[in-house]
Amino acid sequence: MNPTDDFGTILPGTGVANLRLGMTKDQVRAIMGKPDSITTDDFPDDSESISLHYPAQGLSFDFGSDNKYVLDTIRSERPDIRLFDRVLSGLSVKDALSLFEAQSHLPESDPLTFTDDDGSQVRAYDFDSLSLTLWFVNDALDAVQIGTFWADEDTPLFPES
């Protein structure tokens, strides 16, 4: 497999395959094609995020106004999500946290927890050292979300193109 086609492997602070944080919407569309849907989220601080969704590929791409609408977050819900040479999809909370701890990465705080509309129990663990969030549904890893690394609170570090 050509590494640029490997949409399963997560590259923290960088992207997936040949999709890099810092790309424009047009650059992502040139690689992925037309998205199945586009959503916009407005936030209390008057910022917004535009998301391109590709459910068949298990990927979503967010472009925030705070970062001049370049790609700043990638969410993968693929069954072949990989990091640390392991498939993460479906891992239990305990197994995933053990894997991350073995790599010297600990969650920053207690998880965000809530019950979804369908009654599913959702937990999200943030790993600031990787600029990554693990999303679990009913104790099985369902998604991984990556963002940019940061020089400081105001300066994102986008990877080189």
Number of folded domains in the chain? 1
Instruction: Return the pLDDT at 4.
Output: 46
**Residues in a beta bridge with 40:** 50
Under the banding of pLDDT at 50, 70 and 90, the label for residue 2 is very low
Centre a 10 Å sphere on the Cβ of residue 74 and count the other Cβ atoms it contains: 22
Query: Do residues 74 and 21 touch, judged by C-beta distance below 8 A?
Result: yes
Q: Can you give the residue range of the structural domain that contains 91?
A: 3-157
The enclosing H or E element of 93 equals helix 93-102
The enclosing H or E element of 26 equals helix 25-32
Instruction: Return the pLDDT at 5.
Output: 63
Percent pLDDT > 70 in the chain is 96
Instruction: Return the pLDDT at 161.
Output: 55
Dump the DSSP string for 89-135: TT--HHHHHHHHHHTT---SSSPEEEE-TTS-EEEEEEETTTTEEEE
C-alpha closest to that of 37 among 64, 61, 6: 61
Domain of 120: which CATH number? 2.60.460
User: How far is 60 from 106, CA to CA, in rounded Å?
Assistant: 25
| pLDDT average, residue stretch 84-110 | 94
Average pLDDT for the chain: 92
